[in-house]
């Protein structure tokens, strides 16, 4: 733990940066099982926001685990540390004025709340991509459920590692059999109706 450190207050801050970008910075935090559609939907949503002239950044589970969190595995302890680091990065990006999208399983409510509590009240938008395990397992885009069922992968979310569904997300996206583009449109409309974009 570092001691004797003092916070510097800079004249160019979140407010001035957000004003010059002409947008309200925030985090759209997608949570759900592996294969629920987080990455696909976050990517499509970011494209829509980009087309609207929004300045965005997408933090994605697999990508972040190649670098910033490359030293972490999938024990509960490592998942907590994974989400802690990502939350701090998301906070910095919000401070820089961006609309941040995140696509992490983020299985624990306390960790999602950790990020919520780092930010101002209306800056954290929890989106529950509520795709049932059976559908995720059927999709199995990376073949990981098959490996988890055969015991090749241990501590796999939904199989032998817990997933705590959000208790009161800002947006609940229930599963419907439709294309990813249609689901992204549904998500975009829900966020718009609720005045969250
Ligand atoms: N044991 C285990 N459990 C869950 N997921 C696993 C595991 N091993 C590897 N993977 C792959 O890692 C991706 C999840 O990383 P996350 O950083 O989102 O996980 S977490 O939020 O820390 O729980 C996850 O990506 P998504 O499928 O995009 O969710 C998997 O591809
Ligand atoms: N309606 C839908 N919404 C999102 N993904 C869908 C949908 N229908 C099929 N898929 C497919 O399901 C898979 C979801 O994988 P992915 O986006 O990587 O999920 P996650 O990031 O949650 O693990 C992709 O292969 C995607 O094409």
How far apart are the C-alpha atoms of 183 and 14, rounded to whole Å? Answer: 32
pLDDT value of residue 76:
97
Collapsing DSSP states into helix, strand and coil, what is residue 18? helix
- Residues of the chain above pLDDT 90, percent: 94
What is the span of the domain harbouring residue 166? 35-193
Q: Is residue 17 part of a domain?
A: no
Catalytic residues: 106
pLDDT value of residue 1:
83
In the sheet that 124-130 helps form, which strands lie side by side, from edge to edge? Answer: 56-60, 99-103, 26-31, 124-130, 171-174
> Taking CA 153 as the corner, what is the angle to CA 29 and CA 37, rounded to the nearest 5 degrees?
30
Q: Is residue 24 part of a domain?
A: no
Q: Is residue 11 part of a domain?
A: no
Q: Is residue 128 part of a domain?
A: yes
Provide the domain count of the chain.
Answer: 1
32 is in an annotated binding site: yes
Q: Is residue 1 part of a domain?
A: no
Q: Which of 33, 66, 74, 82 to mutate to test the pocket of ligand 1 (most atoms within 8 A of CB)?
A: 74
Which residue owns the Cα nearest ligand 2 atom 9? 180
Q: Which of 167, 161, 151, 153 is nearest to 76 (CA)?
A: 161
Tell me 101's DSSP state.
Answer: E
pLDDT value of residue 62:
83
Domain of 94, CATH number, reads: 3.40.50.300
- For the chain, list residues with pLDDT below 70: none
Q: Is residue 145 part of a domain?
A: yes
* pTM, to two decimals: 0.97
């Amino acid at each position: 733990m570092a001691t004797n450190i003092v916070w510097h207050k800079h004249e160019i801050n979140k407010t001035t940066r957000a004003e010059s970008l002409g947008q309200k910075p925030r985090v759209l935090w997608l949570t759900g099982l592996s294969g629920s559609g987080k990455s696909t939907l976050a990517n499509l949503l970011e494209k829509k926001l980009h087309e609207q002239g929004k300045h965005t950044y997408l933090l994605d589970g697999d990508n972040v685990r190649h670098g910033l969190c490359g030293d972490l595995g999938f024990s509960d302890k490592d998942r907590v540390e994974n989400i802690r680091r990502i939350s701090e990065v998301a906070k910095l990006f919000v401070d820089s004025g961006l609309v941040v999208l995140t696509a992490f399983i983020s299985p624990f409510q306390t960790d999602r709340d950790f990020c919520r509590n780092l930010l101002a009240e209306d800056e954290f938008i929890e989106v529950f991509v509520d795709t049932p395990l059976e559908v995720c397992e059927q999709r199995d885009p990376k073949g990981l459920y098959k490996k988890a069922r055969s015991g090749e992968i241990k501590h796999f979310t939904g199989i032998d590692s817990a997933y705590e569904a959000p208790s009161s997300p800002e947006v609940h996206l229930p599963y419907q059999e439709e294309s990813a583009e249609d689901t992204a449109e549904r998500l975009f409309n829900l966020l718009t109706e609720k005045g969250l974009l």
